[in-house]
Structure formats: C-alpha cells, structure tokens
Amino acid sequence: MRADDNKTIIERFFEKVLKERNLSLLGDFVSESYVEHNPTPDQSVGIEGVQRHIQLFFTVFSDTEYRLEDIVAEGNKVVARWTLSGMHSGDFLGMPPTGTRIETSGIDIYYLQEGKIKEHWHEMDMLRLMTELNRAK
C-alpha cells in the first residue's frame, strides 16, 4: 500500500476506535499477529492484547479523549503524535483514583502490512502523567 493509504488507516483508527471508543472495530485495523513492542504488564499478542491495552486507558481515565496532533507516513510506517486527556478514575500503576483531570502526550510508530497494523511502538510522556497524578494526592 502507499504511504498515504497507510496514513489514512491510522487516522481512521484514531477516529473510530480511540475517539469513538468502538473496540468492536479493532479487527478492521489490527492484524491477528499484531506485536506490541512496548506492552503493558500482562499484555498478550494479537487483537486481544490491543483491546486490553486500550480498555485499560478507557477504564483508568474515564471520558478519555485522544487528539491526533501530527501524522507522518513513509512506506509501511506511520508515526502519530497525540494528546490524551481524561479523569483519573481507576487504579493506575498502583495509584488509586485521584479524580484529577490529566493530560499527557505520546508518539506511536505503526508498521502496517496488508492494510492492518502489524507492529506498534508506543512512547508516552509518563513523567508528565505521573507528576499530574502525584500533585493530586
């Protein structure tokens, strides 16, 4: 596929799955043999692992909102810079809910094959996130 086609797939993934919270569409975007290179604890491979990862953030940060800030594509790789915000309403890395509204950002690299996300690298500004959560204690 062309880089622009891959870019469109990731834009649609952000819109349909992350913004609209429609996890039933994951199979439209994610390969059965999906590999997460920065997994959350106990995250499995494949669509089930992605679903658990995304659901974790939907649960821990109620009213989660993802904003796609920038997106760049070259060949089968797409890089997306995003912002996440939400209310801290569930346990996160051993920290009980604070009721604080947080905002953090991150950069993801997606490798697509046959029109689906095959591999994913995820970097999030954890220092910013943990600083906001610790201020709320």
CATH code of the domain in which 96 resides: 3.10.450.50
Residue 86 C-beta-side C-alpha neighbours within 13 Å: 23
Rounded Cα distance between 95 and 88, Å, is 10
Count of the separate structural domains present in the chain:
1
Give per-residue pLDDT as tens, 28-76.
999 999 999 988 777 788 899 999 889 988 999 989 999 999 999 999 9
Instruction: Round to whole Å and give the CA distance between 107 and 124.
Output: 7
Residues 6+ apart with CB under 8 A from 51: 23, 26
Residue 120's pLDDT is what? 95
- Contacts (Cβ under 8 Å, ≥6 apart) of 113: 31, 76
- Residue 92 lies in domain: 3-135
DSSP for 32-78?
Answer: EEEEESSPPTTPPSHHHHHHHHHHHHHHHEEEEEEEEEEEEEETTEE
Using DSSP bridges, classify how beta strands 116-124 and 30-36 pair: parallel, antiparallel or unpaired: parallel
The whole-model pTM stands at 0.92
pLDDT digits 0-9 by tens, 112-127: 999 999 999 999 999 9
Q: CB-side exposure of 11: number of CA atoms within 13 Å?
A: 11
